[in-house]
Amino acid sequence: MAQPIALLSVYDKTNLIELAQGLQKAGVRLLGSGGTAKKIRDAGIPIESAGILARSIPSDEQDLKAQNIAPISIVVCNLYPFEATISQPNCTLANAVEEIDIGGVTLLRAAAKNHERVSILSNPADYADFLNAWTEGQGDVGQSFRSKLALKAFEQTAKYDEAISGYFREQYASAELSADKLAGSVQRMALRYGANPHQKPAQAYVTEGELPFKVLSGSPGYINLLDALNSYALVKELQEALDLPAAASFKHVSPAGAAVGVELDETEKKVYGVDDLKEPLTLLASAYARARGADRMSSFGDFIALSAPCDLATARIISREVSDGIIAPGYSDEALDVLRKKKAGKYCVLQIDPSYTPSAIETKQVYGIHLQQKRNDCKIGAELFQNIVTQNKDLSSAATIDLIVATLALKYTQSNSVAYAFHGAIVGIGAGQQSRIHCTRLAGGKADLWWLRHHPRVLDLPFKKGVKRAEKANAIDLYVSGEVLEGGEKEQWDGLFESAVKPLTDTEKKEWATKLDGVACSSDAFFPFPDNVHRAKKSGVKYLAAPSGSVMDAECIKAADEHNIVFAHTSLRLFHH
């Protein structure tokens, strides 16, 4: 058997002498480069100043023999400290470039590629275990050990390349760069901080192509982008499914409201606070009015998504609301002028490329662990609701639209979730609850308050002139919810009105509730018990959709039949996390 050969070329010389001594004692011939060879020689260990890629096949062995080259069995190599260098506050571009290892990466990959024969040691922590395995195996550490070392080397070079590309992405392709320093398309955007102010640094980036959105005004934050990208995905799907412009109002990565463009009647215009708008209401403006008006308390400070270019009427509505930002595929000149004046020019306006398609595979990291899955690209349309399992099978086209709106909203809502929809708009959504019935109650309670805002006495509340929209929304919410006010809070509430306001009685509320009918309700997973069906009925639900699979499916269908509800069993669970 020919004498085994080890090639050593390392930057990090931790445990190097111990490894060299162990290899020499085991009869391994040592080859080294530069400083590595010098350090080993200085320790009194013989080393020569040789082919890694040669395979154990006849043709390669013949080539080695013809060229008088001995095959290398062990490669010891690690890389220049690029990440440590760029982490220094005074690091210059020249410093960073100097620490980009070229030969080391080549050695690692060449050796790892041929791990069927070659052992590649890229981490000093592995030296002792390797020596033990080499000694016990009499010069053969085994294929499993070589495979483990090869994987580690490949992971190290991948991480190294990622650090280098990330650094140069920041230097040459970041949105903050001036035109003379920007080398091409924008791939990265620095953010002030992450989810909280202490979570720094933070950024948004892509590893190929360019960022699919650009900032026209303001500066988006980490949560802004979570809301913007999720909400735009929702409205884009709504428009594709229903061929109507769509709008969404997002807060903390779930929709407070979402709607498609259905014209508002005079009562709805008043409920949604757009009856005094000078510009004619477009379908897009109507969609946002409905989305914002579903739950005005939750929409306070929302991030808005539009499926179509923002027009002037929509911008006028937005300009009057407390909102953090908007994302849309475009803006008319007049609309952009209105939005850029909002929040003293700090209102966040994002324009997204409508042709952008995300990768089919998505990855997230939780507690240092990477989780990967196929993107939820399921399509939701009328065909999803064809399996009607109740006696009443009369599913109207309007109800189908509402079920599509509710179900698509669930696709982008933190689970568990249940949504109620009416007239092409979400009217109540229960998000992020561990219990299904609590989702149904929460969404139903919001739908009930939404409907009470249509009550004639609510529409005729005698607000004083000058009361702000947000103050009106809060006052109305307190009024319809029947919240008991005392002390200074009661005085403040009374002070918003020209005259004393009598509360709505329980009888009035119950009587008004009976006037709501034809609401659609969808669930992101099956109903485990019929209590969900009974609760939904109390909020005017006539149409239900949920996946089958519960041991109580038959009981839930029985409950739906009791209330003459149309119940469609879908084959699609829509958990979103």
Query: Which residues participate in catalysis according to the annotation?
Result: 113, 252
Beta bridge partners of 543: 520, 566
CB of 380 closer than 8 Å to CB of 237: yes
Amino acid residing at 437: I
Kindly state the tokens that stand for 262: 């259905």
| Separate counts of helices (H) and strands (E) for the chain | 21, 19
Kindly state the tokens that stand for 290: 């409905």
Kindly state the tokens that stand for 402: 């509402």
Helices marked H in 87-217 — which ranges?
Answer: 93-98, 103-113, 127-136, 143-172
What is the DSSP code string of 323-357?
EEEEEES-B-HHHHHHHHTGGGGT-EEEEE-TT--
Burial status of residue 447 (CB atoms within 10 A of its CB: 0-12, 13-18, 19 or more): buried
CA 411: distance to chain centroid? 12
Q: Write down the residue that tokens 């004083």 correspond to.
A: 464
Geometric angle at alpha carbon 66, from 61 and 68, rounded to 5°: 90
Helix (H) or strand (E) holding 257: strand 254-260
Amino acid residing at 445: G
Helix (H) or strand (E) holding 178: none
Whole-number Å distance between alpha carbons of 81 and 74: 22
CB of 217 closer than 8 Å to CB of 347: yes
Q: How far is CA 116 from CA 2, 54, 56, 113, 390, in A?
A: 17, 10, 8, 8, 63
- Tell me which residue of 18, 19, 14, 15 sits closest to 6, measured CA to CA: 19
Whole-number Å distance between alpha carbons of 569 and 510: 30
End-to-end Cα separation, the chain, in angstroms: 58
547 phi/psi in degrees, rounded to 5: -65, 155
- Tell me which residue of 336, 173, 192, 306 sits closest to 239, measured CA to CA: 306
Helix (H) or strand (E) holding 64: helix 58-66
**Three-state secondary structure readout of 142-175:** CHHHHHHHHHHHHHHHHHHHHHHHHHHHHHHCEC
Q: Which residues contact 234 (CB under 8 A, 6 or more apart)?
A: 246, 248, 255, 258, 305, 408, 409, 411, 412
